[in-house]
Structure 1
Amino acid sequence: MSRVAPDMSFIENRPQNMALQFRERVAKSPALEAFRYPAADGQPWTSLTWKQAGDRVEKLAAGLLALGIESEQRVGIAAGTRVEWIEADLAILSAGAATTTVYPSTMAADVAYILADSASRIVFAEDDEQVQKLRDHRADLPELFKVVVFDGTTDGDWVIGLDDLAALGEQHLATTPDAVDTSVAAITGNQLATLIYTSGTTGKPKGVRLTHSSWTYEGAVIQSQKILDESDLQFLWLPMAHSFGKVLLSAQLACGFATAVDGRVDRIIDNLAIVQPTFMGAAPRIFEKAYARIITMQEAEGGAKEKIFNAAFEVGRKVDALKLAGKPVPFTLKLQHGLFDKLVFSKIRARFGGRVRFFISGSAALNREIAEWFHAAGILILEGYGLTETAAGAFVNHPDDYKIGTVGPVFPGGQVRLGEGDEIQIKGPNIMDGYHNLPEETAKTLTEDGWLHTGDKGSLDADGFLTITGRIKELFKTSGGKYVAPPAIEAKFKAICPYASQFMVFGNERNYVIALVTLDPDAMAGWAAENGKAGASYTDVVSSPEVRAMIAEYVEQLNAQLNRWESVKKFEILDHDLTIESGELTPSMKVKRNVVEVNNKDRIDALYA
């Protein structure tokens, strides 16, 4: 694997704003498919060309201008991932305004805080439930004068529909045909494009200010890698309110591939079989669940099928080890691999649609053993790294130049250095403008010469590949003075135990380490059916002595891989899984460790009694 030095001219030659980036794509590929989205269940998906998307966005942008929206004023979107989210976002940007993103799972009081802090003037709301949150706090939102609903009840005044906004736009364009052209031409690269409020574990969320320039750079970088083009098809389920979802939109505009959009997480596997994408971005939890599901299914079948399955992965790992070391694969081993590819690996790939060239994993650390397991099956997961404050992407592995266990090299045009305590610090065109209305927080995170403190620990190898070694704030010290890195231990357990959903390690200033465990509801339903507990409630199953004994065995396996001071002395299985709705997971499925710790203080204390 060799890396060619990239041509850096893409940085200067990229469009000056994201609205122009979209318009250039429409002009270049008018008849090609831009988006597809599900119609009613069981019906074929609906497809939109770039020209159709461009016409729709222009009317919506003109509608916003007709309502009086001005340069850099904020317009909120409170909705799940769907094609209307993307159309609304592109319309906001084309009108010269800036998008404030709001997760549909956000509590009403927090929605009100975000919209008030951002001074959002208009909000696109998904449905009546989202509109009701705005009604309940209307007195707290003096700037908000109009709501545009995707699927919901309109009142012809404060709440109008998406088609109503488009009709307003058509009227505006009839009298001022160049309104949107003028708006797009006036947008500078350093103009605010997006306000993304990070879901902090404590305190109020912070609004990350991202400019047009940061997004067009992200798209141009991905285009410069020459790994995606108009022939590709993306499946997009990630929350568009999250920077990972948003950066994939910029990549789409730059590269021109089509995107199938459906944000329903419970439909991902079904949709992959229908859509048959060539790539997809995902959080590690999706890969963990898929891995656990396949492993438990094979264990349940047992017998000859399980033996073939295990033998296939033994051969797959041997072949991988030779290839990654640049050594030839012996003829006999190659024959065995070909046979196992037909019998086992091709069926695993078929679960993901059968056409995936690679997945991109981000938003949290991917377990190395799980990445290697997928790789042995012929499924490449390219891990990347970034933060909301870096417009999502800052590092990524390349399909022709990757190292499993790392997040790849820094993006061309970006810089990285390791500061005190091996803190990863990043500089480049993708770095945020700062935190909205929070100059002191901005000064703590951004140096005067533009370096971003990430708060993550890392190491760089001789080729510039970055390995994330932990989050500085997540490291804790036992009362014996030994440092423990919870994410590393937690990732090991998830690779060992196919029933695990979450494994959370605690022990700060305590004399030993303990863990709270949650088990995956789907995996446990399968276990219950095979162990005489079919029909029992989730709580009854995970509270049973048999499950406790099973998890204890997995914890023993984990401890065999750990230093004495890291080993888990006691654990408790929670009677529920963590959810976004409970506030214990972020919408990108990261655990809010502080929230879990507060919610389970009595349980944790009892494990030290």
Structure 2
Amino acid sequence: MSAHDRQHRLSAPATEVAAWERLWQTAPASLGALLAERVARTPDAEAYRWPDPDGEWRSQTWAQAGLVAREIAAGLLALGLRPQDRVAVMSGTRVEWIHADLGVMCAGGATTTVYPTSTAEDVSYILADSDSRIAVVENAGYLDKVLAAGSPVEHAVLIDGADPRALTLAELRGRGRALLEAAPDAVTAATSAVGSDQLATLIYTSGTTGRPKGVRLPHRCWIYEGLAGQAIELAGPDDLGYLWLPLAHAFGKALIATQIAIGYPCAVDGDLTRIIGNLPLVRPTVMPAVPRIFEKVHAGVLAAAHRDGGLKARLFDWAVDAGRQAARTRRAGQRPAAWPAVRHRIADRLVLARIRARFGGRMRYFISGAAALSADIAEFFDALGLPVLEGYGLTESSAATVVNRLGTVEYGTVGVPFPGTVIAIADDGEILIKGPGVMTGYHGGDEVDGWLSTGDIGEITARGSLKITDRKKDLIKTSGGKYVAPQSIETRFAAICPLSAQIVVHGEGRKYITALIDLDPQAVRSWAKEHDVPGADHAELVRSPQLVAVVERYIAELNAGLGRWETIKQFAILGTNLTVENGDLTPSLKVRRRVVEQRHGDLLDTLYPG
């Protein structure tokens, strides 16, 4: 990047940079070494808790977690693991995923992350491209994919169940204990030999076209994530995290590194259907999520409050407005006047505190990442007393790169960089990143030298926050030559329409803008029941004239806030939902725009008659 291109730069506050530099000067070389430091510092403090098959929550100290990782590491060494040998982990989010990954880190190997939802074709490609010699899989159902013809996997390990083709995780740990009896320092020596630039993780990007690319992330990246999170006080030792995000995603791995660096405990359960029930039981203080979760909760809370109308609905709206005004005053650094303060206390006692209780009653804030979050939805949560810190990053930058700070949140932006990272805006608006969290390069490709081109378009606000406007490749140019940023329109619609699951704005090379709308099946069923609209299934319900008319009103409300060239002239409601399993969404619930447009190409054509 030339000096001409580096006209706009953004860095962390100087105090944060100084705190990070002090930590960085004495940083351990590897994630395994970071874990060893944590075990030595707080061996008896809680590290993880998780539900057993009966639904009872179990707990584990750092000393116990370190022992499990050590036994797994020794077991891998007993299987012949060599430095930087790849170990594929294919499992949902559960504490054993973390144990396996930490075992790989302590043994000096490198983890290849594989989503459980991956197709057999993708699994075969990822295993072959990464040359993964060992695979840890959740259950025997995945073995056919992992051990398919041509697979480089020599040893498979099962977390659950048993199969003659694989070791169980307990058997692997047993082999590890046997090795440690014979060579007590084997794991310590393997961990000590790991350098900061040695490969730690291969994460394959879920591209919309072509083969996924393996992102090479060395130990340096995860140490940086952990210490940067510690420097900005993203959490503290007294916090309790709730982790459900897919750990095959860089966001999840960054959170693990941060948790180890800070030393706070984390509840781990990847079952999305249990989140609402778990929160009052676990009572976390910090929880990461993706925008779709906030959108669903926002829609659900609004629907429940307004279902019966009348006094209940008016009281809810009054309370949220009081909370919103209090939050705005707080963000402006001002003291509230006497009556607004009293109004907010009454609103909190009658309404807002009861809503927070559904989240366990102790939540300090949420962290949102992986996709754009509507500023209106973020402010709604802040009005409830549940601030949302939106952040930004890529797999190629170890996920957590920029984030809002508690107390200085600017909604509609992703905040400021982690200390040690610099953001620049090129002449064409593209966001560029430079810092210790940037990958070494793509597997089998050239190394990154200097600045990482993100492919995202952004700007720096007057307050000094980074604002993402869209993906460079997603910008739409109509046949009339007008440019449209679809992501901005899509996030606005998510805040306006409580029935929406996804919306895909379309119009590249077309005369005007159209949209494909995917409605949330649960919200549609509730709406249909409330309005006595008959329908045997989702496809029939979304074709009902009454529902189409409702969506038309939401589109009209959206269009009222858009430029004439951006307005949605025609739309179609999809009869089947977009899913991760069908390849329409990434595992972090982002739309694969090109896949959806290609799959529904004929439907899109009907929106452009003549």
Shorter-chain-normalised TM-score: which range?
over 0.9
Structure 1 residues 393 and 520, CA, compared in 2 at 3 Å: closer, same or farther? same
1:353: how far off?
A: 1.2
1:73 aligned onto 2:85: yes
Aligned residue identity for 2:156: V
Query: Are 1:73 and 1:97, in contact at CA under 8 Å, matched by a contact in 2?
Result: yes
Which of the numbers 150, 158, 161 marks the counterpart of 2:168? 161
Task: Report the secondary structure of 1:420's partner residue.
Answer: coil
Write the distance in 2 (CA, Å) between the matches of 1:320 and 1:536. Answer: 44
Aligned pairs for 1:41-190 within 5 A: 41=54, 43-135=55-147, 137=148, 139-141=149-151, 143-155=152-164, 158-190=165-197
Structure 2 residue runs without a partner (length 5+): 1-11
Structure 1 residue runs without a partner (length 5+): none
Residue 399 of structure 1 corresponds to 406
Which of the numbers 199, 208, 221 marks the counterpart of 1:214? 221
Task: Report the secondary structure of 1:94's partner residue.
Answer: helix
Task: Report the secondary structure of 1:517's partner residue.
Answer: strand
Write the distance in 2 (CA, Å) between the matches of 1:186 and 1:336. Answer: 61
Residue 7 of structure 2 corresponds to none
Task: Report the secondary structure of 2:417's partner residue.
Answer: coil
Residue 288 of structure 1 corresponds to 295
1:347 aligned onto 2:354: yes
Which of the numbers 20, 26, 31 marks the counterpart of 2:44? 31
Aligned residue identity for 2:443: H
- CA deviation string 1:211-265 (max 9, x = no partner): 0011001100011112422211100000000000000000011000001000011
1:256 aligned onto 2:263: yes
Task: Report the secondary structure of 2:287's partner residue.
Answer: strand
Residue 544 of structure 1 corresponds to 544
1:121: how far off?
A: 0.3
Task: Report the secondary structure of 2:307's partner residue.
Answer: helix
Residue 483 of structure 1 corresponds to 483
Aligned pairs for 1:226-245 within 5 A: 226-245=233-252
1:462: how far off?
A: 4.7
1:320 aligned onto 2:327: yes
1:176: how far off?
A: 0.7
Q: How many residue pairs align between the two structures? A: 595
Write the distance in 2 (CA, Å) between the matches of 1:282 and 1:50. Answer: 25
Backbone CA RMSD of aligned residues: 1.4
TM-score, length basis structure 1? 0.96
Aligned residue identity for 2:221: S
1:91: how far off?
A: 0.4
Task: Report the secondary structure of 2:327's partner residue.
Answer: helix
Query: Are 2:306 and 2:312, in contact at CA under 8 Å, matched by a contact in 1?
Result: no
Aligned residue identity for 2:361: G
1:271: how far off?
A: 1.4
Aligned residue identity for 1:195: L
Query: Are 1:525 and 1:534, in contact at CA under 8 Å, matched by a contact in 2?
Result: no
Write the distance in 2 (CA, Å) between the matches of 1:230 and 1:330. Answer: 35
1:412 aligned onto 2:419: yes
Aligned residue identity for 2:246: P
Task: Report the secondary structure of 1:87's partner residue.
Answer: helix
Query: Are 1:413 and 1:428, in contact at CA under 8 Å, matched by a contact in 2?
Result: yes
Task: Report the secondary structure of 2:583's partner residue.
Answer: coil
Query: Are 1:395 and 1:407, in contact at CA under 8 Å, matched by a contact in 2?
Result: yes
Query: Are 1:410 and 1:464, in contact at CA under 8 Å, matched by a contact in 2?
Result: no
Query: Are 1:528 and 1:536, in contact at CA under 8 Å, matched by a contact in 2?
Result: no
**Structure 1 segments of 4 or more deviating over 4 A?**
none
Write the distance in 2 (CA, Å) between the matches of 1:567 and 1:103. Answer: 37
Write the distance in 2 (CA, Å) between the matches of 1:127 and 1:320. Answer: 47
Query: Are 1:11 and 1:413, in contact at CA under 8 Å, matched by a contact in 2?
Result: no
1:343: how far off?
A: 1.4
1:534: how far off?
A: 6.7
1:600 aligned onto 2:607: no
Task: Report the secondary structure of 1:301's partner residue.
Answer: coil
1:535: how far off?
A: 7.1
Query: Are 1:518 and 1:578, in contact at CA under 8 Å, matched by a contact in 2?
Result: yes
1:4: how far off?
A: 6.0
Write the distance in 2 (CA, Å) between the matches of 1:133 and 1:241. Answer: 17
Residue 589 of structure 1 corresponds to 589
Write the distance in 2 (CA, Å) between the matches of 1:68 and 1:269. Answer: 43
1:109: how far off?
A: 1.1
Task: Report the secondary structure of 1:426's partner residue.
Answer: strand
Aligned residue identity for 2:424: R
Which of the numbers 379, 392, 395 marks the counterpart of 1:388? 395
Query: Are 2:146 and 2:153, in contact at CA under 8 Å, matched by a contact in 1?
Result: no
Write the distance in 2 (CA, Å) between the matches of 1:275 and 1:521. Answer: 28
1:328: how far off?
A: 3.3
Further displaced range: 330-339 or 596-605: 330-339
1:522 aligned onto 2:531: no
